[in-house]
Amino acid sequence: MDQEASLLEVVRTKELELKSKIEKAAREAEEAIAKARRRAEEILDSAKRKGEEEAARYIEEQQAALEREVQEIKERSLSERNRISASAAEKIDEAVELIISRIAAKGS
């Protein structure tokens, strides 16, 4: 009977050892999962920040391009206005001379 008791104690001891190892493995697995989740969150946060930074940079670049385009349009418009004004001034002078010459011709 002592042998059976001794064998039962050995089995019980082994069961306790295995239970301890299983619990330790479960804790380590939970820790590894928690660590992986934290790392995944860090990666997602980093990607989100980078995406926001890229979006902001892209928006700034596009705004600068639009501002340059607006400035070019303003410059072209001013140039065209000046050209039209100069042309109109020449035509007014020609019209005044034509009117004066016709009035003078009728008067003669």
* 103 occurs within a structural domain: no
* 6 occurs within a structural domain: yes
Instruction: For the chain, give the DSSP string.
Output: -HHHHHHHHHHHHHHHHHHHHHHHHHHHHHHHHHHHHHHHHHHHHHHHHHHHHHHHHHHHHHHHHHHHHHHHHHHHHHHHHHHHHHHHHHHHHHHHHHHHHHHHHHH-
pLDDT value for 44: 98
* 92 occurs within a structural domain: no
pTM > 0.85: no
The per-residue pLDDT for range 44-65, each reduced to its tens digit, is: 999 999 999 999 999 999 999 9
Q: Which domain holds residue 1?
A: 1-81
* 50 occurs within a structural domain: yes
The per-residue pLDDT for range 62-79, each reduced to its tens digit, is: 999 999 999 999 999 999
* 98 occurs within a structural domain: no
Farthest CA pair distance, the chain: 157
Q: Which two tokens stand for residue 15?
A: 């069961």
* Number of domains making up the chain: 1
* 108 occurs within a structural domain: no
